[in-house]
Amino acid sequence: MTTEGAVAGAARTGFASGMMGLGLLSLIYGSYSLQWEPIPGFVPTPLAYLSGAILILAAAALAVRGAAAGGALVLMAFLGLWLVALKIPETLAVMPRVTTVSGALGTLLGAFQDIALMCGAWTLYVLSVRCGAKPVVTVLSGEKALRAIRILFGITCIECGLCHFAFADITANLVPAWLPDHLFVAYLTGAGHLCAGIALVTGVLPRLAATLEAAMMSLFVLLVQVPMVLWHRAGEGHHNWILLFVASSLAASAGAIAGAMKDQPWGVKMFTAGSALLKKA
């Protein structure tokens, strides 16, 4: 198996697990698990079960190598439909009433997380095609598509980083107790998101940026979300499971994007060339 195939397999497994977990929560609780609530009143509650079934079936297909491209495409379309039909209109309806920058960032967070997850599913589709799957929609699997994914995901990283600064106290409360200076950690991780986002949007060391973003998100899952699930207080279990599955899927999305840029330089050559030019000068 090639390095790209191994990365695609790991990202596929992580993303499929997260989506399947969210689908199971929808079936168990009859709610729209993800950052998709509040749901407009005109959307019938029984559709929550259909939403859960779609997530589970598409995630199951994504976990099977031969059906991965189709599963990824279904998840991408499902996330995109939800974003366009419900999340964006709901966000636009709330925004005129927002009077602060932090309020605007918080209002946009749910929509941006959906975009990040859609980018993850889209990247897995690209990787599946690269690994030999027949492209169902050719225009979504080329280098231009990957460039669009990189820029979109980078924008979501920037928004997430800004939220770390705008809601530093809330972020600091999520930092494990054994780590010192929680507020500093909140700002440091926010800066990490911002740097990764800027690098992805501008195309400066994007592979390194996506890899570090995936590593940081994976640490969040291990150090924050998993302990929250294991030692939650009464009444918080459902919400904490949602956060775990969303965070796992976001980490897998960043990992998939990093894997899709295997032909990009890490940056070592760039810095080496720069040092050589300085010596000649």
Which pLDDT tens digit goes with each residue over 137-150? 878 888 899 999 99
Question: Is the pLDDT assigned to residue 35 strictly greater than 60?
Answer: no
Type and span of the H or E element at 176 = none
Sequential DSSP letters for 39-63:
PPTTS-TTHHHHHHHHHHHHHHHHT
Is residue 273 situated within a structural domain? no
Is residue 274 situated within a structural domain? no
Is residue 182 situated within a structural domain? yes
First to last CA, the chain: 45
Ramachandran bin of 34, using left for φ above 0, alpha for ψ from -120 to 50, beta for the remaining angles: left
Is residue 272 situated within a structural domain? no
In the chain, the percentage of residues whose pLDDT exceeds 90 is: 47
Is residue 108 situated within a structural domain? yes
Is residue 44 situated within a structural domain? yes
Is residue 99 very low, low, confident or very high in pLDDT (cuts 50, 70, 90)? confident
Cα distances from 280 to residues 81, 268, 272, 273, 275, in angstroms, run: 55, 19, 13, 11, 9
Q: How far is CA 83 from the centre of its chain?
A: 14
pTM of the predicted model as reported, rounded to 2 decimal places: 0.87
Angle at 139 between CA 16 and CA 53, to 5 degrees: 30
**Domain assignment of residue 10, given as a range:** 3-266
Dihedral (Cα; 120, 125, 126, 132), 10-degree rounding: 150
Round to whole Å and give the CA distance between 167 and 101.
11
> pLDDT, tens digit, for every residue of 38-82?
555 555 567 778 888 999 999 999 888 788 889 999 999 999 988
Structure tokens at 107: 């209002």
Instruction: Report the range of poorest mean pLDDT among 26-35, 53-62, 121-130, 234-243.
Output: 26-35
Q: Is the peptide bond before 96 cis (omega within 30 degrees of 0)?
A: no
Question: What's the structural domain count of the chain?
Answer: 1
Helix, strand counts (H, E) of the chain: 12, 0
Q: What is the rounded average pLDDT of the residues 171-192?
A: 91
Is residue 280 situated within a structural domain? no
Q: What is the pLDDT of residue 49?
A: 83
Is residue 36 situated within a structural domain? yes
Contacts of 223 (CB under 8 A, 6+ apart): 176
What mean pLDDT is reported for the chain?
A: 84
